[in-house]
Amino acid sequence: MPDTLERAIARFLPRPAPADDVVARVSAAAFRAMALERLRSAGVASVEDVRRHSQRLVSFSPEGERRNRELKQFLMQQLYNHPAIVEDRARSVEALSQLFTYYLDHPEAMPRYYAELVQQQPRYRVVCDYIAGMTDGFLLRQHHELLP
């Protein structure tokens, strides 16, 4: 069944608010109506039309844009660049770099599928693909096990 614009927009909204949260319900309904109106006025009738459209169809209001920028600045200053996070990130980047070099030199240490793939594709590409599929925790465990 093809996706309707209404269903596509609804996926981006928060879950329905409790019945007593009238403000949240009205806000979600207003957003849905506003988005549908903008899409229809642009001649969009389906999700495929949205994907093929050459311009952005829905965006923040100037006030919403300002608040979004403020939120991003706050998160950058207070979360992403927090000393504890920066230290963990640096440690993880170093572990990733060392593990990449290790697997380049020891492709047999990767699972058999990747070790065999090295015979058919550039080694750096295979190692990159293998590491890209790792979770952060698995990468750090592999680093600890292979490069104590």
Q: Would you list the DSSP string of 29-62? A: HHHHHHHHHHHHHTT--SHHHHHH-SS------H
| Mean pLDDT of the region 123-137 | 95
Q: Which segment of 23-27, 48-52, 123-127, 131-135 scores lowest on mean pLDDT?
A: 23-27
- Residue 147 has, within 13 A of its CA and on its CB side, a CA count of 16
Decide if pLDDT at 17 tops 60. no
Domain map of the chain by residue range? 5-59, 83-146
Return d(Cα 37, Cα 33) in angstroms, integer. 6
Cβ atoms within 10 A of the Cβ of 36, count?
A: 15
Q: What are the tokens at 16?
A: 């329905």
Least confident of 8-17, 46-55, 87-96: 8-17
How many Cα atoms within 13 Å fall on the side-chain side of residue 50?
16
CB 116 within 8 A of CB 72: no
Three-state SS for 20?
coil
Cβ distance 134 to 92 under 8 Å?
no
Most confident of 34-38, 79-83, 110-114: 110-114
Residue pair 81/98 in contact (Cβ under 8 Å)? The answer is: no
- pLDDT, tens digit, 9 for 90 and up, residues 56-72: 887 778 888 888 899 88
Say what percent of the chain tops pLDDT 70: 82
Write the CB contacts of 40 (distance below 8 Å, at least 6 apart in sequence).
none
pLDDT at 142: 96
Is the pLDDT score of 80 beyond 80? yes
- Cβ contact 140:95 at 8 Å: yes
Looking at per-residue pLDDT, the higher value among 107 and 61 belongs to: 107
